[in-house]
Every structure is written in structure tokens, then in C-alpha cells.
Chain A
Amino acid sequence: MSALTRPLAPGAPAAVPAGDRPPGPAGGQPTAAPAPTAVSLDRVGVRYGRSGPPVVRDISFDVAAGEWLALIGPNGAGKSSLLRATAGLVAHTGTVSLTQAPQAGDGSPHRPPSPRTRARSIAYVAQQPELPPGMSVAEYVLLGRTAHLGWLRAEGRADRRAAADVLDRLDLTRFGSRDLTAMSGGELQRVVLARALVQEAEVLLLDEPTSALDLGHGIGVLELVDELRRDRNLTVISAMHDLGSAGRFADRLALLHQGELAAHGPPDEVLTEPILSRYYQTPVEVLRSADGTAVVVPLRTTRPNTQKRAQP
């Protein structure tokens, strides 16, 4: 239940006129103020190539401003493709609309007209970011200012100040002049996050942000994302592999299966044995940790003696 005790939209004013759709999780918290929709997907579909099979089919959901939605699902379910479609990086059908938060007086969604405008609203962190050799951390982070610069302009004082603030916030200042290729995995994930934050976009898309990290660094990065989300009132959509972390950090989960939205709701409604066993096609057991969040344990399929494990 701990995921639900978190306010739905931290920092959002109490009485904000919502858009035309009901925001927040289905059957969400009765006490939470209605938050404006930040990202709205309407029948989004993706296919690669003209004749390729669709990898994402007709997916619709809303994410409220300040909310964290985790996309889960087995390999090849379409999580990364849906993220890229949301960021406008792949051709897709349907619409992705953004509503400015929190003063969405008109509440009208609009389509971002150009990559530049879109990059000012949506920052995207790839699963395996490209790290140009010979580029310093400071240079890499400054690339995040691209959408704020004119065609022929270089970074100015304000851009360097924004980068300095973010480097400071993520405890990266001392690495500024270091070569990217000389950074460790955990530091790199912070560097990549720093570049996304310098974009000053209100929506942050993360594709498997912890896949290359060990246990401690993985949790560290997720805690950092959560803090930043509260500090800056970011809306976060992340593709996640680790179901336990997804349930612990996200407000809502969306389970994709073969490109379709199979389940959608608060972690406790999605992380259940029937749902997970069905879509991951392997028996699982869902336990409760001391803080009440779900712990998903895959069971061995070849040896039956695992059944005698005691219930908590």
C-alpha cells in the first residue's frame, strides 16, 4: 500500500481545473486533489517498417502531472517502443498530447509542432545511451540545452548556469571535466540523468534506468529520480524490468503484453499472482515486504518442491 500513500501530484495546487478526462489512477485515492493530465496517449500504435507487425497496438492512458507511471511487461512487450513513441522518436499512429501543468486553465491538449518544442517538454533517457569518446561530462550535460538554443547560437551564461545547478544537484560537479568513458556505471547513469534534467522538460521518460546497475546503485538512481520528481514536479514514465522496484516507486503500473495494455492500475492491483503468472508465462509468488510493498518471486518450473514455502 505504500505506493498509494504518496501524494498523487506533489506540488499541484488543490483546485486545478482538470482536463476533459478524469485524471489519476483508476479507482485512485479519494483524498487526492484532481491533478491535471500531463501526458495523454490516445490509441497509440507503433510498427517498424511498412509491412512489419505492430509492436504497440492502440494503447491509451493518461498520466497526471507529477505522477510516476512504470511500464512493465515481458521482453518484447513494446515498452521501449511505447516510450519512444511518447517522445516522438518513432513514427506512430494515434496521438500523444501534453498538457501544461499545473496552471492548465484551458486544459486543452496540443500537439507539439517540432522536435525542438517537444524536447522542451519531454526529456528521454535511452536504455543504452551513446557515449561519445573524448567528450567531457560537462560537454555532454550541456548538450541537453539544445532545445533552448537558436540554430546558430552556442551555450551562453544562462545555459552554463543551468548545467552547473544540475551538476551540483546530482553531486557531479567534480567530474565536470572528466571524459565520459572514464566514468563508472553508476556515475554515468547520473550523468545521463543530468543531461535530461538540463532540458528543463516537465516530462521525464526513462528506458530501463537501472538495467546496467547493481542493487545499491539501482536503488540510488530510483531514489534520485523520485526526489527530483518531487523537487521539480516532474511527470515520470519509466520502462522497468524489476517489478519490485516498479511497485515501490511508481504510482501506477501499466503492464504491456504483445503490444497491448494488459493491466493498468496501482501496484497492488497489477502485481498479483494471477496477472503476472499469466502474462510472464511463469508461476510467481507475490510476497509482502516489511513496508508492505510487493515482492515478486518467480518460481522454478522444473522442480515442484518449491510449493512448500511458507506463507508470510
Chain B
Amino acid sequence: MTARAAAAPGGGPGDGPGERGIPAGPLPSDDGSADDGLASAFRLRPAALAATVALTVAVLGVSLAVGPFRIPLAQILPAVAERLSLPGVHSSLTPQQQVILFQWRLPRAVLGGLVGSALALSGATYQGVFRNPLADPYLLGVAAGAGLGATIVIGGHLQAGWGPLDTVAAAAFVGALAGVLLAAALGRGAGSSPAALLLAGVAVASFLTAVQTYLVQRDSDGFREVYTWILGQLVTSGWTDVALLAPYVVVCGAVILALRRQLDVLRVGDTEAASLGLDPGRIRLVLIVAASLLAAAAVAVSGLISFVGIVVPHLVRLLAGSSNRVVLPLSALGGAAFLMLADLGARTLASPAEVPIGVITAFVGAPFFAFVLWTGRRAIV
């Protein structure tokens, strides 16, 4: 091990002059030997994590405070504490402010956070699994399937509520999963390589979109409603949608984050990953199922909010590095912040009217998408 310190003449940034004189002894601590890059390998830097958490919390705070009725930022935390019956805390919010905060803004912000998290995490997962910087669940039939499902229900006037579930959401969820399954079946027939699956997804998406367009054409009455749904919205009353989406985010998010190391191994390709001891097909299957469920659940409650799954992971990669052990958790957090911010814009830019949130995300996302294509090599997966 003495050779290790000596073998780095003027090497890495952590190569202090005092380090070379260390006599033979036990291995220096993991954090001490920064010059070989091992201690920092795959590490999510605490500063990056803290910054992302702080950003998410700040966006949440602002989106709770801002709106037609202003709620003082400093009063939000005491109000939440009082609501949770913490002893000794008293909120000075008026009852009206309390209703706005707890019945409208908080559920909507939390829903936005969950949807953004789900879309960004599933986008990052797809990009990792397919080793393609532009992969996205929407590309693999999720969006087209969900759109067709919603169109069938809206066009057929089948809207209804079954308990907490409304039929548009249920149909969108089923349609999204059916789209992915169809793409997977088609891709499997074509050799089940990542490229084949992606191409199958494009074919399935085109076909389902064609069917949807035909249905919309036949029934111009439902056109406006379908169109509104496609653009995406976070209009809620209370916590129903949050309760529907949260279990998917928690369970699928946990599965994906648990497999973040395997996703890093997949970056060397299937053959080499297998030679390293992984079963690439099985890992890919588990990850695709989890990411697709996440996306389908998000789409069911919010409609088609585009570009979150591409913009957020790429921003994270540009700022914090390309290891999936960094990209996945930061995308989940960053997606929440991004969508809460977009929703803030959606409900304040043209107040009292609402701009569809999908318009906001696409307005930011489309130029970014072009930027990624344009700069090419900086888009790293």
C-alpha cells in the first residue's frame, strides 16, 4: 500500500504533499485516499443532496404561499404543526386561509410533487435501462395507451366514480400498461434487445395514437375534454389523488432505488453485465415494470405532462454526474421541485384562469430537448 501513495506523483486533487511520506501500515481510511477515486466512486455528495432537498422544500413553501390569496410563508409551518396537533404551537392563520392551505394548496402541491417525482424517476430508469438518453415511458406506449384509454371513456360518456376511483383515471392506467405490454410483446418478438423494444414502443405509440385520433374525430363533443386531459392538469379537491398515487411512488420508487447499483452495471452492456454476474434480462424486466407502473399511475391522476421524464434526469446528469446512484435519487427530488414550480406557473401566470401544466412543462422542455440533441455528447447515460 505504500506504493499506492507513491505512485501518484502530482496526481489527483486530494494529493497533499504530506501524504507521500506515510510509512507502511494499514490501509488509510476510505475517505482519506481521495487520489485513487475509489472513496468518491458512485457517491452521492451530501452537498448535492442537501441542495436538492433545500430546493424542493423552498419550492413547496413558495407554492403554498403564492396564489390569489396570499398566505404568509412564516405561518405555514406553525399551521402544519398545529394541524398535526403538536403541543404548544398556535397558528395565526384565519379559518379561510386554513381551508385554502389544507384543502387546496397542500394537496395540490403534494400531488404535483408526487407526479413530478414519479415521471422523473421513471424517465431516469428508462434512460438507464435502454442506455438511450431520449428514452422515456411516454415513448414506450405509456402516453399513447393512457390517451386512448381516457378517450374511450370520455368519448363513450362512461365517466363515473367508483369510490375513490374515477373511470377516466382507471382507463388511463389500464391503457398505459396495455401500451407498454404491447410494446414489450412486440419487442420480444423482434429480439428483445433495448433498441428493438424502443422501436416497438414507437410503433405501438403511433398505432394507438392513430386509433385515438380517429375516435376523437368521430365525436367532436368530447374533443375539448379529451384535449384538456391530454394537456395534463393537477386540479384536485382534497387528498384522494394523493392517496391513489402515493403507494405506487413509494413501492416502485423503493424497488428502483434499490436496484440503482445494478443499473450502473447495465451501463457496460448486456454481455459484459452478464459476465460480471448479473442477469441483465431479469433486472431490466423488474425495472421496466416498476418504471411503467410509476408512469401509468402518474398519468392516470394528472394526464399527459410531457418532458418531465427527460428534462429532470438530464439536468441532474449535467450537474451531478452520470452514476445512477446519483441520478435516480436526485431525479426523484428534482422532479418534485420541477413540477411544483411548473404548477405554480400554471395557476398564477394567467390567474384566475389556469394554463395547462403540460403547456408549461413542454414550453420549458421542448427547447431543452433540442438543446440536448444539439449538444449531443453532453447527454450522457
Contacts and interface: CB of A to CB of B under 8 A. Distances in A.
Q: Please indicate whether A and B come from the same complex rather than being unrelated chains.
A: yes
Interface of A: 84, 87-89, 115-120, 122-124, 126, 129-130, 132-140, 142-144, 146-147, 149, 151-155, 157, 160-161, 163-164, 167-168, 171, 173-178, 199
B269 interface: yes
A191 B13 CA distance: 20
A266 to B, nearest CB: 29
B27 A161 contact: yes
Interface in B315-369: 317, 321-323, 325
B35 interface: yes
Contacts of A116: 277-278
B275 A174 contact: no
Contacts of B325: 154
B243 interface: no
Given A120-B277, A176-B12, A154 B258 contact: no
A130 B268 contact: yes
B277 A147 contact: yes
B84 interface: no
Interface string B73-93: 000000000000000000000
Interface string B255-279: 0001001101101110110111111
Contact of A134 (B12, B33, B380): B380
A206 B322 CA distance: 28
Interface string B271-303: 110111111000000000000000000000000
Interface in B67-122: none
A303 B377 CA distance: 48
Nearest to B260: A154
A154 B260 CA distance: 10
Q: Which of A87, A129, A168 has the most CB of B within 10 A?
A: A168
Interface in B103-158: none
B28 to A, nearest CB: 10
B8 interface: yes
A122 B272 CA distance: 12
Contacts of B42: 139, 142, 154-155
B1 interface: yes
A89 B317 CA distance: 31
A139 B323 contact: yes
A139 B27 contact: no
A122 B39 CA distance: 27
A147 B276 contact: yes
- The list of the 9 closest CB pairs from A to B, nearest first, reads A176-B37, A119-B277, A147-B277, A134-B322, A177-B37, A138-B37, A176-B36, A174-B11, A124-B275
Contacts of B380: 132-134
A268 B336 CA distance: 68
B40 interface: yes
A176 B267 CA distance: 18
B165 to A, nearest CB: 33
B41 interface: yes
Given A87-B275, A146-B277, A164 B27 contact: yes
Given A130-B272, A135-B267, A115 B1 contact: no
B3 interface: yes
B276 A144 contact: yes
A130 B273 CA distance: 10
A168 B38 contact: no
A213 to B, nearest CB: 19
Contact of B268 (A123, A129, A167): A129
A168 B37 contact: no
Given A89-B274, A132-B267, A134-B321, A115 B35 contact: no
Nearest to A130: B269
B4 interface: yes
Nearest to A153: B261
A164 B317 CA distance: 27
Contacts of B258: 152
Contact of A164 (B33, B262, B377): B33
Contacts of A152: 258
Contacts of A115: 274, 277-279
B3 to A, nearest CB: 6
B7 interface: yes
Contacts of A133: 322, 377, 380-381
B36 A126 contact: no
Interface string B1-26: 10110011101110000000000000
A45 to B, nearest CB: 19
A149 B41 CA distance: 16
A197 B315 CA distance: 35
B247 to A, nearest CB: 21
A171 B7 contact: yes
A166 to B, nearest CB: 11
B321 A174 contact: no
Contact of B323 (A120, A135, A168): A135
Given A133-B380, A138-B38, A174 B7 contact: yes
11 contacts: A89-B271, A119-B277, A133-B377, A134-B321, A135-B322, A138-B37, A139-B41, A139-B323, A151-B262, A164-B36, A177-B13
A126 B27 contact: no
Given A134-B322, A176-B38, 14 more contacts: A115-B279, A118-B277, A126-B275, A132-B267, A135-B323, A142-B42, A143-B265, A146-B277, A153-B261, A155-B42, A160-B41, A164-B38, A167-B4, A174-B9
A125 to B, nearest CB: 9
Nearest to B131: A132
A137 B13 CA distance: 15
Contact of B38 (A120, A149, A163, A174): A163
Contact of A173 (B35, B39, B267): B35
Q: Which of B4, B9, B40, B317 has the most CB of A within 10 A?
A: B4
A132 B322 contact: yes
B347 to A, nearest CB: 37
B213 to A, nearest CB: 38
A174 B269 contact: no
Contact of A160 (B8, B30, B35): B30
A167 B36 contact: yes
Contacts of A126: 271-272, 275
Nearest to B8: A174
